Amino acid sequence: MPQCCCHQRFRRITDVRDDSEISRVLAIAAHPDDLDFGAAGTIALWTGRGIDVVYCIVTDGDAGGFDETFPRVEMAPLRRAEQTAAAKCVGVHDVRFLGYPDGRVEAGIGLRRDLARVIRQVRPDRVVCPSPERNYARVGASHPDHRAVGSAALDAVYPDARNPFAFPELAADEGLAAWTVGEVWIAGSPAPDRYVDVTDTFPRKLAALRAHESQTGHLTDLDARLRGRLAASAERAGLGDGRLAEAFQVLETA
């Protein structure tokens, strides 16, 4: 397998790997709660099938919240605690925070190295990350932090994590060998091509989102709002009435 090849391109695949071939997943997000809005129903399915899932959250979401109920200085530790509790709702017990400031994330070399480090530590078969593309149909999905993290995550998948000559300090100082991720699932993509039926795990996804009390405590219609969005995805996927689905764009990256 080439370690570095200028002809290599990410490409869409229709034959996504079966979950039985997947041992570990690394789910990368910009903020606490992003994964719970975009992917927690799917992640609950994966952990239920025995797949180890690790979360890597780039910021502490310290610019989040809906009022001044919580003092700003307490927001970062509060949101870490909320994300850790939310992760447990869907079977995830390893949550890593990179501590970048909320609202100021750039897809620079530092973030690429930090994400390549986590990829080499976790050695995932599959990575989940946000989209680097702006979604003009859903402005909220295209927060600048999301796009920056999506861009850096894809750069970390290819070429940084797999190229032993990229960030040589990771190997020299930390003993982290190169690692090739097999596929990437982009959440919040403007061009989804993979729909996962999460009807059965929806209650766990909802519980995870409720764990983000500082973000969702004021949303009395959270259940209905989520059901509406997921039902629309299920309809696009032709899953039938009453079904709920999360949507992804899947890239083959091996």
* Cis amide bond preceding 32, omega within 30: no
Residue type, 39: A
Which range of residues in 26-34, 46-54, 88-96, 208-216 is near Zn ion by CB under 5 A?
26-34
The yes or no reply on residue 62 touching Zn ion (CB under 5 A) is no
Site string for Zn ion, 69-108 (x = CB under 5 A): ----------------------------------------
Q: Which residues contact 201 (CB under 8 A, 6 or more apart)?
A: 40, 41, 42, 44, 45, 48, 90
Only one of the segments 32-40, 68-76, 185-193, 217-225 lies at the binding site for Zn ion (rule: CB under 5 A); that segment is 32-40
Q: Which stretch binds Zn ion (CB under 5 A): 4-12, 30-38, 120-128, 198-206?
A: 30-38
Closest contact distance (angstroms) between CB of 213 and Zn ion is 16
Number of residues that bind Zn ion (CB under 5 A): 2
CA-CA distance, 165 to 178, in Å (whole number)?
Answer: 9
Query: Tell me, what amino acid is at 215?
Result: Q
- Cβ proximity to Zn ion, 57 vs 181, nearer residue: 57
Radius of gyration of the chain (CA): 17
CB of 254 to Zn ion, least distance (A): 28
Beta carbon nearer to Zn ion, 22 or 58: 58
Quote the CA–CA distance of 102 and 145 in Å, as a whole number. 8
Cα 137 to chain centroid distance, Å, stands at 20
If the CB atoms of residues 103 and 164 are measured against Zn ion, the closer one turns out to be 103
| Binding status of residue 34 toward Zn ion by CB under 5 A | yes
Using CA atoms, how far apart are residues 141 and 247, in angstroms rounded to an integer? 13
Q: Applying CB under 5 A, which of residues 22, 26, 28, 31 lies at the interface with Zn ion? A: 31
Please, what's the largest Cα pairwise distance for the chain? 55
Instruction: Catalog residues that contact Zn ion under the rule CB under 5 A.
Output: 31, 34
